[in-house]
Amino acid sequence: MRHLAGYGGWQAVWVGAHKLVRSRPQKGPPKTELFDLAHDPGETNDLSAAQPELLERLLALLAREHTRSVTFPLAAIDGH
């Protein structure tokens, strides 16, 4: 799993060929996208609506594996 504080914070998790990306701008709800990197290495086709079960499984993994950092907090993801 990868976390980055830039651009308002974003998270990503890879499972096999699938990649879930969740970004949250400073204002507004998180944007969540799901990609199949084996068939779409350029990440142009969001599969979130087409594969809701996989989306929910990867979101649960993202939530379970996230550890809040005191040193590098992601305010856009963790809140203030």
Q: Can you give the three-state secondary structure of 18-66, one letter per residue?
A: EEEEEECCCCCCCEEEEEECCCCCCCCCCCCCCCHHHHHHHHHHHHHHC
The model's pTM: 0.78
pLDDT given at position 6: 56
Positions in the chain short of pLDDT 50: none
pLDDT at 39: 97
pLDDT number for residue 30: 78
Residue 31: predicted pLDDT: 87
- The pLDDT of residue 26: 54
pLDDT at 44: 97
Q: Which domains does the chain have, with CATH numbers?
A: 2-67 (3.30.1120.10)
Task: In whole angstroms, give the CA distance from residue 52 to residue 44.
Answer: 18
